[in-house]
Amino acid sequence: MDRQKNKNRILFAEARTDLALEAGERLQDDNAVPQGLRVETLQCEDADAVITRVHVESGEAARRMKKPMGTYITIEAPTLAGEDEGYHQTVSGLLSRQIRELLPGAERTELLVVGLGNRAVTADALGPKTIDHLAVNRHILPFYKEEMKKKPFTVLSAIEPGVMAKTGIETAQVVQSITRSLEPDAVLVLDSLAARSIHRLYTTIQISNTGIAPGSGVGNHRNAIDSQTLGVPVIAVGIPMVVDAATIVRDALNDGGRHPGEGAERKAAACLEELQNMYVTTKEIDEMTERLSFTLSEAINGLM
C-alpha cells in the first residue's frame, strides 16, 4: 500500500515542461536547489516584462533540472497574448537584444534559422509560420558586397525541415546536412514549447544556448540539435503553446500542484495514466500562432 502511495505521489509530482524557469521553481518549492544553479531576475519597465536568466552550471544542477548545462533566458510578458501591435513590437525589440547577446561577436554574422514543427498541427506550427515572415537575404549577398564592408551585417537564411512522420528523415540529420553545406556562424532554432502552467501559454518566451531536442516537451524525444551535433553555436527560441493535460487536473485538485492532499492525490492518480499523453491548448490557438509568429520574425529581422 505504501509502495503504491509513493508511486502515485511521484507520478503526481511530475509535470512536463520545456521551461527552465518552471523546472527551477519546482526545485525551489521542494527546497532542493542544487549547487551550480544560479538565477537572475530583471524587471523591464518599458516592456512591462520580467527577464529571468537561469544558469545551469554544474552536472548536478543539469541532472536535477533535467536540462543541459547552459544559459536559459525567459521573457515573461503577461499581455503578450493581446492584440496591441505596439506592445508586440516592443517585445520583439527586447527579444532581439536577448538573442544578440548569445550570438558570436563577429561584425558579420551568418545565421541559419530553423523552423521546427508540423505546419499541419496549429499548436506545433509556430516555427514554420515564423519562417514565412523572415526577411532572408543570403541569396542577394552578391549585390551588396560594398554595403557589407561599411557596417555590421547579419546574413539570414532559413529552412523548414518538417517532421520525421512526413519526411522519414530525422530533423537533426536534415539540419546537420544543411549546416555543413552553408557553414553559418550560428543556428537559431524555433519551436513550440510545452509549459507546466496554463498562465504561461502565449506569454512567455525562452531563449537558450543549449540547443533543443525536437518533441521533448511532449515526451517525443528526437535527436538533439545542439552545438555538439552541428559544430556551431545553437540558440533555441520558443513559446509555450500547449500544456500537459495531467497538469491541469493536478492544479485543479491540489492547490496549484504544490501540496497535494491524500484525497486529491488518489483522484488524480486514477486518471493520470490516461492523461499523460494528452496535451491541450486554448480555442484561440490559430490566432495566437499567427500573431506570435510575427513577434518572433520581427525580433529575428531586427538582428539585421
Q: Residue 251: its pLDDT value, please? A: 65
Q: Residue 264: its pLDDT value, please? A: 54
Global confidence as pTM: 0.83
Q: Residue 9: its pLDDT value, please? A: 45
Query: Is the pLDDT reported for residue 64 higher than 80?
Result: yes
Comparison of pLDDT for 82 and 178, the residue scoring more: 178
Q: Residue 271: its pLDDT value, please? A: 60
Comparison of pLDDT for 109 and 231, the residue scoring more: 231
Name every residue whose Cβ is closer than 8 Å to that of residue 71 and which is 6 or more positions away in sequence: 53, 54, 55, 56, 102, 208, 209, 210
| pLDDT tens digits, 254-273 | 554 455 555 555 655 656 56
Average pLDDT over residues 216-238: 81
Comparison of pLDDT for 282 and 277, the residue scoring more: 282
Comparison of pLDDT for 141 and 80, the residue scoring more: 80
Q: Do 201 and 282 touch, CB atoms closer than 8 A?
A: yes
Q: Residue 229: its pLDDT value, please? A: 92
Q: Residue 123: its pLDDT value, please? A: 93
Query: Is the pLDDT reported for residue 35 higher than 60?
Result: yes
Place 252 in a pLDDT band, splitting at 50, 70 and 90. Answer: low
